[in-house]
Amino acid sequence: MKIHEYQARNLFRKYGIPVPNGVVCHSVEEAEKNIPDDGKLKVVKAQVHAGGRGKAGGVKLAKTMAEVIEKAGQILGMNIKGLTVEKILVADAVDIEKEFYVGLINDRNSKSVTLMASAEGGVEIEEVARVSPEKIIKMPIDSTTGLMDWQARSVALKLFGDIKQVRQAAVILKKLYKLYVETDSSLAEINPLVLTPEGEVLAIDGKMNFDDNALYRQPEILTMREATPDEQKEIEANEMGLSYIRLDGNIGCMVNGAGLAMATMDMIKLYGGEPANFLDIGGSSNPEKVVKAMNILLGDKNVKAVMINIFGGITRCDDVARGLVTALDEIKTDVPVVVRLSGTNSKEGLEIIKNYGLPNVATMSEAAKKAIELSKTEK
Amino acid sequence: MSILINKDTKLIVQGITGRDGGFHASKMKEYGTNIVGGISPGKGGMEVEGIPVFNTVEEAVKATGANASVIFVPAPFAADAILEASYAGIDLVVCITEGVPVQDMIKVNPVLKQNNTKLIGANCPGLITVDECLIGILPGMIFKKGNVGLISRSGTLTYEVVNMLSESGLGQTTCVGIGGDAVSGLYFIDLLERYENDPETDAVVLIGEIGGDAEEQAAQFIKEKMAKPVVAFIAGQTAPPGKRMGHAGAIISSGSGTAAEKIKAFNEAGVPVAKEPSKIPGLVKEKLGI
């Protein structure tokens, strides 16, 4: 789960990480009413779940109150990577001496939370990681001790020259780690962490993601969820035990298992088609689940054919076939459906599908080819 | 020989009185796995499917000499179950449970190291040494005894490939589903090393996914340390960047963990990568000269 910059800043503040003052506004009127006319230089920032806001024109400086209102009007309602800007953050702009990057991630290789830091802050850290990986300091953290003082200090020493600044930064790193662990975060970045000409260390921009598997024990984080319409669909599917991600193609796929679902999408692409989605129905043959899955698939008007790919393991194919038939009876769609069943009791399952009058095929490759063919012929 | 488990493995089932635990305990027993006990706090003394139930893993180990455990408890309690097994001296823990928070797995890891416990999963289908021992939720009937080892991050895709191998006459030694989570137990390299040392395994099939760099590391290992042939498949070649596809591990962002990078690494290590699953048996046969 992602949150907005202003929400990350609120969490930073709660954990004692210094951030410049800022106000969130949903409209120009709100900006006029709530932003103090204190003569300070301000920065107006779009709050959307998309990277590259600056390049898209979603971050602007404003010298006067009149400029704040003007920029707020420009940014609110703007479209950034397909998302409409509904909120802005108006924060005090800060004089910057130098910019740094610090972040925490779950690292699968060291199986630990890992602290990353770089003196090349402010830009896309992924770019730094690709072009000059040696410029990123990595420090795995032992979960039994947490981030130790000496670790925070040794990383800060590589970024800052003055020991007073090192101490400020080390404290920030320790607070960030505490925030990260206590909220079941999966990514916590301060980018940039800045040094002001006065020698103060401040978090200017923050990004946090959270582990979906841990949201059950993070009620406060869950209240911060603001899903885009596509994400909302994905969340609804999850609640049904389905894993769904919408894509831009025209062949809907329904598969049991995430790996097989990805392989199915690959296959469609390999034979010249475009998958409309990723959809993993899990290990159940429950007709209700199949109906819900079909409704989600057919709710996407781009879908011109549906490919159902099931491998029966413990789940028996004849059970799945019965679930499909029940589901199709209920839905009644004109969109052509290709079914491929394999594994346990696949013969019996295919018999049911055949008797129902649906095209059925024995292999994944054939199913993909057939679905592509049908997507082109049907209007 | 085989890797990790065989006919002498003594298994306990943590969460045996739950719906999944009970169902799969009976399936595993049917396959021939030597299940010596089940764990369910407060239900010690009961029997499930003719299997004695204990309150703690420690009691079960004392009474039965169990050396492997499979976990079916709900996600919020899975990490605790892994720790209990580890402290009781269980050698191999297989965690089937999906949805375990990453921070829980990160906390478990140093304890596993300290106690020298091997973990498979979480969020995995388990493993099987054909005709000897099945641990987890794999459908036993699709496997056939032979000389091919298989490691996979996926569930049903694994079954798909195993089925194709079996139908084409390629049997298996041990097949392991390592799970798709961001932080999990034994990984490709840990298993490749064991296959390399297993006299019964002549070739290995590796089924990877987008996300992370485990496949790249595996490729490096194969290049430097393995004499036995390996054939690979990568799922998610067409997945859009930054999207999490069911498996928590299957996420690609900003050019790291893409299928293209993994395929390149394998090709450089002399490992053929199948374009689609159905091509895997042919590639294995080619490598084995059959």
Indicate the residue of B24, B155, B238 with minimum beta-carbon distance to A266.
B238
Q: What is the structure's pLDDT at B242? A: 62
Indicate the residue of A111, A217, A245 with minimum beta-carbon distance to B245.
A245
Q: Does residue B222 have a pLDDT over 50?
A: yes
Q: Does residue B253 have a pLDDT over 70?
A: no
Residue B45: count other Cβ atoms within 10 Å of its Cβ. Answer: 9
Q: What is the structure's pLDDT at A240? A: 81
ipTM of the complex: 0.90
The answer for residues whose C-beta is within 8 angstroms of residue A95's C-beta and 6 or more apart is A196, A197, A198
Q: What is the structure's pLDDT at B224? A: 97
CB contact under 8 A, A245 and B250: no
Using alpha carbons, select from B112, B266, B134 the residue that is nearest to residue B188. Answer: B266
CA separation for the pair A78, A85 (Å, rounded): 5
Question: Burial of B149 by CB count in 10 Å (0-12 exposed, 13-18 middle, 19+ buried)?
Answer: buried
Q: Which of A239-243, B133-137, B152-156 has the lowest mean pLDDT?
A: A239-243
CB contact under 8 A, B245 and A278: yes
Q: Helix or strand or coil: residue B19?
A: helix
Å between A166 CA and nearest CA of chain B: 28
Q: What does DSSP say about strands A59-62 and A42-46: parallel, antiparallel, or unpaired?
A: antiparallel
Q: What is the structure's pLDDT at A69? A: 93
- Residues of B within 8 A of A142 (CB-CB) are 110
**If you search the block for the tokens 């704040």, which residue do you land on?**
A68
The arithmetic mean of pLDDT across residues B198-222, rounded, is 93
Using alpha carbons, select from A33, A4, A38 the residue that is nearest to residue A21. Answer: A38
Using alpha carbons, select from A94, A99, A93, A3 the residue that is nearest to residue A47. Answer: A3
Token pair belonging to A278: 């990723």
- A345–B contact, CB cutoff 8 A: no
Using alpha carbons, select from B108, B214, B198, B112 the residue that is nearest to residue B154. Answer: B214
Residue A210 forms beta bridges with which residues? Answer: A185
Quickly state the pLDDT bin for B114 (edges 50, 70, 90): very high
Using alpha carbons, select from A343, A315, A345, A377 the residue that is nearest to residue A359. Answer: A377
CB contact under 8 A, A109 and B137: no
pTM for this entry: 0.91
Q: What is the structure's pLDDT at B241? A: 67
Catalytic positions of A are 101, 189
Indicate the residue of A247, A259, A270 with minimum beta-carbon distance to B275.
A270
**DSSP one-letter code for B22:** H
Q: Does residue B169 have a pLDDT over 50?
A: yes
Q: Does residue B21 have a pLDDT over 50?
A: yes
Stretches in chain A below the pLDDT threshold 70:
122-124, 126, 283-285, 378-379
Q: What is the structure's pLDDT at A328? A: 84
- A145–B contact, CB cutoff 8 A: no
Residue A137 forms beta bridges with which residues? Answer: A117
- Residues of A within 8 A of B206 (CB-CB) are none
User: CA triplet A202, A203, A207: central angle to 5 degrees?
Assistant: 175
Q: Residue A179 to residues A73, B27, B174: CA-CA distances in angstroms?
A: 34, 44, 42
- A149–B contact, CB cutoff 8 A: no
- A214–B contact, CB cutoff 8 A: yes
Q: What is the structure's pLDDT at B254? A: 40
Quickly state the pLDDT bin for B237 (edges 50, 70, 90): confident
Q: What is the structure's pLDDT at A285? A: 61
The residue with greater pLDDT, B88 or A320, is B88
CB contact under 8 A, B238 and A245: no
Token pair belonging to A317: 């194919």
Q: What is the structure's pLDDT at B252? A: 45
CB contact under 8 A, B139 and A211: no
